[in-house]
Amino acid sequence: MSRNRLTILHMAVLPLLLAGCNGRTSLVEEIHGPVPVIGSADGADGSRILVQTSDIESAAEGLSYERLFPSTPGKEAIEHKYGLDTWYVVSIPEDKDVREISGRLSQNKTIRSIEYCAPLTRPTESDKLQVEDLALSTKAAKEPVTMNDPLFKSQWFLFNNGDKSMFGQNCVAGCDVNIKDAWSLCAGDPSIIVAVVDEGVKYTHPDLAANMWTNTEEIPDNGIDDDGNGYVDDIHGYNFADDGAISWSKSGDDGHGTHVAGLVAAVNNNGTGISSVAGGSGKGDGVRIMSCQIFSGGRNDNSAVARAIKYAADNGASVLQCSFGLGRYYSDRAFSESLSAVKAAYDYFRAPENANSGVTDGNIVVISAGNSHNNFAEYPGAYRDYICVSAISQDNLPAWYSNYGPGVNIAAPGGDNTFTLTMLSTLPSELKGNDYGFMHGTSQATPVVSGIAALGLSYAKQLGRHFSRDEFEAMILSAVNPLEDRLTGSKMGPASSFDLATRKGGMGTGVIDAWKMLMNVEGVPFVTVKTGSDASIDLRPFLGEDAAALTIKEVSISSKDREAIGLTTEPAVSAGKMSIRCTKAGAARITVMAVAGGATEGTDTEMGGKLFSRTISIVSRENISSNGGWL
């Protein structure tokens, strides 16, 4: 056996052994030859498989094939860089078994990877979270609303005045995302596009239609791919599950995509229905929703997800909203190797070459943590590159169902069915006869974060600001209200209580706050310290309100800046404060790197948090005022 073959076999067998040790899902279905076949044939689409190769003519061995990712004019070089031009869908003849063909192709040395087109599971399915009938209280909230949308008063996650008769006995005033303050600065920007990768979005919905992204290069319903992007009549997105027109009310659909879209950008201030995080001010200024449909009547697979993500990148989306899970993996490497076409598409979406907002140098991916109340997040959310969202309810505590622990980066309101109201948003009326309804889950928490990310991009655009993708993600992760101190005692779930201490350090950096996000976009103010004196800098404005609970990985300052403020001892961080002594007047920048979610960062082999860095501007002066004013 050649050395190469041995290595490949090790790569294939090792995960299988590891999986066996801990009773977890195996990566490898069968090992016939040098190429492992990834996934399970059970339940997979028997008519096709995914093949990665740089020589498809040899690899297909006479079978018909097509590119998994249609090439987009002008993007060929980027597609090649991220390997998207090496993925193919190979058709299996009707009289052949998919397992047999996969086995045969696995002997072909020109093939790098083979994946079954496997059905995916949505995180909501394990708990069967139900769409509840619309049953709104007619009571008005105690505080006036900023937007004139009549159902705003029932959206506690946007504005929670603590009205127990409306939101439930245990609701806590202020447990919301502080949107009314944020709206005073910015309510959206139509150039910012959020791709909702989910069930199809009902683009004709009265509270969504005006904020739908529209592909102006495509002529509707003419059966022609007018813009040559590989998809016919893709006006508001595309149905990758069925390879056709977007749908939202097939048997098996529950309106999930339409609900998620409404939380991001239902049209604000139109006197209709609900408000949303980034739905504008009623002047056509909401962010736009692109429907990237990957579920249809319960049908889906990994090839649809991969294609949907690339489509979002190629057609202008700067935020990828993903409220789904792709199965249970227990390390970043296992996920990457099991769903390598999907992983390649995510890499492509985040690539600097595809930065779409004009604000950041890469697009932002936001994914749900899952609803199985497990002490780890599901993938792809758990992967260290993406922002993974857990859920709280209106008592300002973790929702009973939310996954927590390694892989989780930030929390957001997601509702809880033990309360009177969960998360109110748009629904296709075809399903339950109403345009609005309640759902709950990390699926609902995630679009709140996606919406706030889009709002942040909108505000940055308004101010003419530019950030690196990493900087912007750090701004999201630090735009939070505290959660850790409340994680004591127990909380009732639908069947039994759970110990809140088990969630400590597992829900992420804190609970997202829209106002704080916009303040981060404006820029964190500098800190003035007195030259020659010991100073203690509160890190909460930089790392979020739970700064004291974060694990700090590194504090760094350049030698030039060190000299500028006469730093003779290293700055030390403890309990959310930085101790520093400057011996010279001057200015410097100090970077603090922390872990978002848990004590350790994720690696290829260990699930963990996401590293993020904030830079603090220090001004050392002999004469300082207590309020930071210059004089």
Partner 1 sequence: MSIKTILRSVMAAAIALIAFNACEKQKDYGKDLPGCWELITITGFEQRPEIYMEFVSDGSFILYQRFGTNTSFSRYEGSWTLSGDQLSGKYSDGSPWGSVYKIEISDGVLFLSASSEESTYRKITQIPADIQISNL
Residues that bind partner 1 (CB under 8 A): 463, 465-467, 522-526, 531, 564, 584-587, 589, 617, 619-631
Q: Which is nearer to partner 1, 362 or 415 (CB)?
A: 362
Least distance to partner 1, CB of residue 434, Å: 42
Least distance to partner 1, CB of residue 592, Å: 16
Least distance to partner 1, CB of residue 538, Å: 17
Least distance to partner 1, CB of residue 571, Å: 18
Q: Which is nearer to partner 1, 169 or 627 (CB)?
A: 627
Instruction: Please list the residues that pair with 89 across neighbouring strands.
Output: 50, 66
Least distance to partner 1, CB of residue 613, Å: 14
Q: In 3D, which of 502, 581, 590, 604 has the Cα closest to residue 542?
A: 590
What is the C-alpha separation between 265 and 447, in angstroms, rounded?
9
What is the C-alpha separation between 530 and 348, in angstroms, rounded?
47
With 0-12 / 13-18 / 19 or more C-beta atoms within 10 angstroms meaning exposed / middle / buried, residue 225 is middle
Q: Which is nearer to partner 1, 91 or 462 (CB)?
A: 462
* Phi and psi torsions of 324, nearest 5°: -160, 165
Q: Residue written as tokens 């070089």?
A: 77
What is the C-alpha separation between 445 and 437, in angstroms, rounded?
16
Which of 595-626 are b and which e, b meaning 16 or more Cβ less than 10 Å from the residue's Cβ? bbbbeebbeeeebbbbbbbbebebbbeeebee
Q: Which is nearer to partner 1, 431 or 587 (CB)?
A: 587
Q: Which is nearer to partner 1, 45 or 473 (CB)?
A: 473
Least distance to partner 1, CB of residue 583, Å: 11
What is the C-alpha separation between 51 and 60, in angstroms, rounded?
9
Q: Which is nearer to partner 1, 59 or 619 (CB)?
A: 619
In the three-class reduction of DSSP (H, G, I as helix; E, B as strand; rest coil), residue 127 is classed as coil
The two three-digit tokens of residue 62, written as one number:
């006479």
Task: Give, in order, the Cα–Cα distances in Å from 301 to each of 69, 98, 120, 306, 324.
Answer: 14, 15, 6, 9, 12
What is the C-alpha separation between 320 and 312, in angstroms, rounded?
8
Least distance to partner 1, CB of residue 615, Å: 9
Phi-psi region of 280 (alpha: psi -120 to 50; beta: other; left: phi over 0): left
Q: Which is nearer to partner 1, 167 or 612 (CB)?
A: 612
Least distance to partner 1, CB of residue 614, Å: 12
Q: Which is nearer to partner 1, 214 or 533 (CB)?
A: 533
Q: Which is nearer to partner 1, 159 or 472 (CB)?
A: 472
Least distance to partner 1, CB of residue 589, Å: 8
* Phi and psi torsions of 373, nearest 5°: 35, 40
What is the C-alpha separation between 583 and 564, in angstroms, rounded?
9
